Structure 1
């Protein structure tokens, strides 16, 4: 099995905590359908797509369901890889979920046409290394989309996002706490991303802000 090292900040998403996250994460599919639509706007039919840090696999599975793409998911969590594989089998779709570190991915140069990474970039222990690896495994002219929490997220944006999740009880309380406290401290600003990108070989980029997130489009 591939060795991953500690490619993340904070506590690892393994065992019970990963299963708890997966259970709450799948209650509202709206966000995954929206993200799948965003990828479909950017990735041509027939593209080979890599999702970096897919977690329980909802977005990769949504993309595979379209029948338009060959989809691979790479996650540092063994538990998430197991959960995602089971969910793909249950959904009857083919997604190649693998174990691996975002800053040292187990793929050859120029293996993919498009890369997507949602709600995970802030947790990478080596964000610059992750960006450089994304560039390495993209084919010429390929693109990447990173969507992640912005450091200066407002209380109102968090309240709206948690309401959309359809969770309750302790899960709702903890999720609000996380999105208001330690997760923003890990997150980045637009200028942070610009600094990272300047140290890579990406040809062009565009960074757009929503109340909750940064949407980073990259092109090789």
Structure 2
């Protein structure tokens, strides 16, 4: 892996074994297991994917639901281990993969700032130092001591994005987070991403169903279809083909 690239995906495949029949309880599962009557179907979520991402690049990933986009991001983030292939990542990472991941919904927003910071590897002293910045960016001052279970999805997205971008990560992974919440905050998130790009050279991996977001932010785009690479290239060429195809 050369210094020009911060992420390299080398012949990555991800195969899941799905149960081919409905099992209602644990007892039935163990009985079938003992009798050798458990049957599974192979589901290929990703099929031989290879690409490289340059430092400071905004790299988009598009495709319909079930194309393998989120699975690919989880593999890059280290949440999943690929069935075959290699993943090389050279830098710190702030993943925004699943809305609310790393949060406890019974705790308040304030408590979750420190909890999520610990999940991301930040000390309590560091989170104390950055607390006011997180609160200001999220615009949740009036709700910070309310349990997260009473937050809307947009409020959760605000908090998650504010925590993830309080530092300048080498790699920011964003999976549909910008699609949640009001237009004003979406613009604020896009401005923050552009700031990270221009001031610190952060690399961004962006999954979005919004063609406008991809076209506005990305340099190159990977188009996945049913786990396979359909097209990889500059944003204009790929999105022209993608939009006309669907």
Q: TM > 0.5 between the two? A: no
More strand by share: 2
Q: TM-score, normalised by structure 2?
A: 0.31
Q: Give the TM-score, by structure 1 length.
A: 0.34
Larger RCO (CA within 8 A; separation ≥ 6): 2
